[in-house]
Every structure is written in structure tokens, then in C-alpha cells.
Structure 1
């Protein structure tokens, strides 16, 4: 018997069609899955915010001629990972088959729908939130929905991969990506902006938040990556700074913004800025549009260094992480086989 193991490559998701039919449901789900974790909004207000955001995004992206690539890249990552895992036939002494699917929080196919599909046909589920910094808004969403759909059996059947940022091999992948993609064109004084999604640090009343927003993890990841870059013999950057892409509402946001980084670069005499979105695993509008526009608006010549995307080294490393997680789950299930016969019957017998 083959033990099917589902692997869900999960990210936020951005629409591929710039229509209200696509944008409004996406905006609504952002409010439902993310905003609701820090604020309770009346239904009419949520509908108004979702509509306003959709109209604004449609207008801005069409004016700029911007076409989001996040979903396309996530599919490419899914396919690349599936290709690597299809050669794995045995784990922990069992015949296995990996079923690799892409899923999204804000766009279809929705993460919870894919969870429901694989719940009855797969023995185990590996969830990969394609955001390297864990928080209530990233892997927290994945964990909460998995618990909701699997109940008590979630601990034996589901493994959410996290702590990507705190891995030495992953740091090396990021460093190599920077130096492989950056082109030194002239003898300029160049600053490197390491860009990430900003995080809240306090609520609207200045109180500490009770949830993990990923602030501490962002700072630690930044410091580790910065140190690795500075110690690399290829490094010629005159200055390296954290550039957070903050929103305007919801409370007090982290102060280490891209805007502040650009001001500090100017004071240091930086002549060119390179941007690497270390807080993302795939190019998206916050990275390859908003961050790029902000740097250009500040008057700097700039280079955008793409995210890891579906680069071979990253995909090889991710496949190893998946196999390690799958082995842990299979060993756990073997040790609890007697205690959970009903759950395993559902997982191994699609017709039950």
C-alpha cells in the first residue's frame, strides 16, 4: 500500500485578473483572515473597506501596467517541488507518494478547500507557508485553519514547516542569491535594502499586542542575513539596512521602514540602491512594485534582486525539509497507530 502524503505550497495570493470580480473576494478574505486577528470590524465597514481597496488597486495597477506574478511563481515552485519529490518512493520503511498542491489564503484555490480535498485521501499533510518569517498572519493562519479542519487528529496528521529564516542553509541561499543576481555596473557607493513586510508592534492605544506579529523574528533574520553578507568575500555594499513595508492603519508599526533606510542612505552618501526582498519567497506587488517605486521616487539608481522564487538550490533545500517533516509524521503515526485507528482509516481509504 502507498501512503499518500499531501504537500501544500501556501502563500497569500494575488489576483491574476484585474477585475472587481477577482479583487473584491481577495480584499474581503484579507479582512476575514488577517485584519480580524487584531480588530473587530462591523460587517458594513468591512464591505466598504474591501470595495475601496479593490477599486484603488485596480486603478493603480492598470495605470502602472503592473501584472502580479505571485500566483504564477507559486505554481512554478509547486511544480519544481513535485518534480523533486516524485523520485522519493520510500520513507521510514514505507512506500510513499507525494501529492503536491498550490493553495492560497486570499485567492483560489483557497487553502481550506485544498485541505478538505486532501484530508480524505492522504495519510499525512505537510503545509509550507511560503513566507519565511512566522507570525500570526502567516503560518498562524495555516495552523488555525488546519486545526479547524482536522480537529484533534491535526497533531498526528499535519506538520506546518516553519523557522525557515533561522536555518543556516537558508541564509546561505539568500546570500548567494544576492551576489549571483546583483550586477555591479559602475564604481558607485551602493547600499543594500533588505525589504520585508512591516509588522505591528503596538495596538491603536499604544498597548503591547497579545499575538506574535513576527517583529522579533524579522529583526533576528535581518541581523543574521546582514552579518552573513558582510562576512562574504564578494561583498562590496557600503551599507546594509532593513526596509519594512508598513501599512497605515491598525496600530503602531515597526520603525525600521524602507523610507527611513533611504533617508539614512542619503546621509551616508549612498549613490545607488539594491533591493532584495528577504522577507518574501516569491516576487509580489509589495516587493517588485511598491518597494521599487519607493526607491525610484527617492531618486536613486536601483537594482531589484528577485526573490528566491523557484531557483534550483532553494527547491532542492525545500524538498529536503519536506522529506524530513514527512519522516517525523510517519514515525509519530506509527507510534500512535493503536490509539487512532479511525483517523488513519479515513486517511488511507478515500472511500471511507
Structure 2
């Protein structure tokens, strides 16, 4: 291409295809101000908190951001990767990105990167870097198996905001939610089967704990609730398990409004009284282990269950950058890149 450019024309990079793995985000450190910056960006998102701004702004800035950063910072410190000085979510998402890049290395024109909806690396900075590198086509891959306006939609929104400011926009595709993708269902089922087989005990029950949301979001048309139940049903059918062996709960509720039920913490507290003393639990809404899985489930949830009379508790990790998990991501990305590669 450069042979046909007029004299003094700026260099033109060769056309490339970009693949961006999008995840939720993380504070840069566990101190008060780092966590506060992250929480402010997160909780100011109208996709996440649909309360009218005039009502929510004083609650957030005068109340929540005064005390929650210290509590959240302590929770992050419990699971922080001290060797890399990063949160597990960022470490794992980077590992996934590097693994996918290796799997697509046969295509010299493909660039793989990752971005966070909240925090760093920001979606805007990554898309600008890709555009400058010559990516004329970009695939956005929100790493959320089940669609929700609070996750998938807001991740895409942030990307579209960045694209809106570009004079020369690349062509863009967005990968759909993959809650019922046969490859995802098979991979998740295998992780459960292998995880249970590796335990020194036989669980009475396996719990699939999904991130919760206010019930009113479901009533307004968000499909997340139904997709969570469908994921668990398809996995149960793949495993050939009885209905009583695998159940759905919802975690991480916030504020006084009613959220999707049954609640994970309430369920864990009640199960021992019902004779369920041995459980295994996993979090299929997350593509990478993070504070909601490592601290909220594997630490707080374990404590709740054992203090209520439980005898055995096991957490089955997210798919993360495991070979099976990466097979699934690669399969999805190659499918969505059809006609571009």
C-alpha cells in the first residue's frame, strides 16, 4: 500500500482485525481512594443503578462512598494477587487474552487485547490503540455468559461511546451472550463433573450461584434471570443429574430493594437445618474468578455455611484461562469472526 502513497503522506498501517475481551473491572489497588474511584464509576452507571439521578447522587456521594470503599478495600485485600499487585480479575482476564492471542497466532492480521468497563485498562484507551494500529474491523466480546443490561449492554455502551468520538470508525461486531451455547454448556458441565470428582467428599447438593439484580429489572424486561435458569437446566441435563442435585441461587444483593431469589447467603445458612451438610458451589455468571467468587462465596459463604452447621464446603472455580475455558472462548471468537478471517 505504501508504494502508492503520495510523497510526505503519513504511514498507513496494514489492515488488521481486533478482538477485545471485555470484563467488568477492578480497582487499581486496595487503598481507600483507589477503591472509591472504582466504586464511583461503577455505581454511577445508570445501567447498573436505575434509580433517578436526583435521588441516587446524594445517597452515593454522601453516604455510600463515605464508608463502602474501606469495607470493599478490606475484601479486595483478602484475595489480592500480591505477587503481581493486581486483582485476580485483571490477572485472569490478561491470561485469557494472552492464551487467545496464541491460539489465533496463525492469523498475522489479528490483534487481541482486553479492556475493563470500569477502571483500567479502559475500553476507550484499548479501542484507540487498536484503531491506531490499523484495526479496521473489531469484535467486541463481553465475557458475560448471560445477557443483562447491567453487564453486556453497559460494556458495549462504553465501547460505542469511544467509537462515537472517532473520525474514522472501524467496522464493529458484538459477540452475543453464550448462556445456551452447546460448547459453553459442555465446558461448564465438565468443570462441575471434574470439580466434584476431585473432592474428598460427595456433595449433597451443588449450587450454581449467579450474580443477582433487582427484581424490577426483570419486570422491565431484562432476560438475565431466565438465562441463568436455562444455563443450569442445560448443564443438569448434560450431566444427567436429578433436579434435586443442582440448584440456582443469586448473590451480591445491594440496597433495600427486593432482588432475585433465592439468595445465596440465606440458602447457605438454611441448608444445614434441612439436612444438607455437604455442598459444592460455583458461579457460572462469571468468566473469571473475582471478589464476588473468591471473597464473597469461597470465604464469606463458606463461613456462613459452616457456622450454620455445615460439614463440608467446596468452591468450584470459574472457567478462567483453563484449557476447556479457552477452547470455549476460541470457538466463540472464531465463529463470530466468520467472514472476516
TM-score of Structure 1 vs Structure 2, range by shorter chain: 0.7 to 0.9
Structure 1 residues 194 and 65 mapped into 2: Cα distance closer, same or farther (>3 Å)? closer
State the TM-score, normalizing by the size of structure 1: 0.79
Find out whether 1:87 has 2:87 as its counterpart. no
Residues 131, 170 of structure 2: 8 Å contact kept: no
Deviation at 1:278, TM superposition (A): 1.2
State the TM-score, normalizing by the size of structure 2: 0.81
The structure showing larger relative contact order (alpha-carbon pairs under 8 Å, at least 6 residues apart) is 1
Residues 242, 261 of structure 1: 8 Å contact kept: no
Find out whether 1:99 has 2:140 as its counterpart. no
Q: What residue is the counterpart of 2:337 in the other structure?
A: 326
Higher deviation after alignment, 52-61 or 37-46: 37-46
Deviations 1:219-244, CA, capped at 9 Å, x for gaps: 22222223323x06xx9x97221121
Q: What residue is the counterpart of 2:148 in the other structure?
A: 135
Q: What residue is the counterpart of 1:116 in the other structure?
A: 128
Find out whether 1:265 has 2:271 as its counterpart. yes
Distance 1:274 1:302 in 2: 6
Deviation at 1:25, TM superposition (A): 1.4
Distance 1:36 1:318 in 2: 26
Q: What residue is the counterpart of 2:323 in the other structure?
A: 312
Find out whether 1:283 has 2:289 as its counterpart. yes
Distance 2:46 2:314 in 1: 31
What count of residue pairs does the alignment treat as equivalent?
Answer: 313
1:291 partner SS? helix
Structure 1 residues 150 and 17 mapped into 2: Cα distance closer, same or farther (>3 Å)? closer
Q: What residue is the counterpart of 1:339 in the other structure?
A: none
Structure 1 residues 214 and 155 mapped into 2: Cα distance closer, same or farther (>3 Å)? farther
Residues 133, 165 of structure 1: 8 Å contact kept: yes
Residues 142, 156 of structure 2: 8 Å contact kept: no
Deviation at 1:77, TM superposition (A): 0.5
Distance 1:216 1:76 in 2: 30
Find out whether 1:195 has 2:209 as its counterpart. yes
1:165 pairs with 179, 192, 208, which one? 179
Find out whether 1:214 has 2:224 as its counterpart. yes
Structure 1 residues 127 and 114 mapped into 2: Cα distance closer, same or farther (>3 Å)? same
Find out whether 1:58 has 2:73 as its counterpart. yes
Unaligned runs of 5+ in 1: 90-96, 332-352
Residues 80, 310 of structure 1: 8 Å contact kept: yes
Distance 2:157 2:90 in 1: 22
Deviations 1:249-305, CA, capped at 9 Å, x for gaps: 273211122134335633552221111111111111111211122233221321111
Distance 1:46 1:211 in 2: 26
Structure 1 residues 88 and 320 mapped into 2: Cα distance closer, same or farther (>3 Å)? farther
Distance 2:263 2:251 in 1: 6
Q: What residue is the counterpart of 2:301 in the other structure?
A: 294
Higher deviation after alignment, 11-20 or 73-82: 11-20
What's the Cα RMSD here?
Answer: 2.9
2:139 partner SS? strand
Structure 1 residues 250 and 135 mapped into 2: Cα distance closer, same or farther (>3 Å)? farther
Residues 269, 304 of structure 2: 8 Å contact kept: no
Q: What residue is the counterpart of 1:77 in the other structure?
A: 96
Deviation at 1:83, TM superposition (A): 0.6
Structure 1 residues 126 and 228 mapped into 2: Cα distance closer, same or farther (>3 Å)? same
Deviations 1:305-340, CA, capped at 9 Å, x for gaps: 110000112212322322222224x39xxxxxxxxx
Distance 2:269 2:93 in 1: 34
Distance 2:230 2:273 in 1: 25
1:105 partner SS? strand
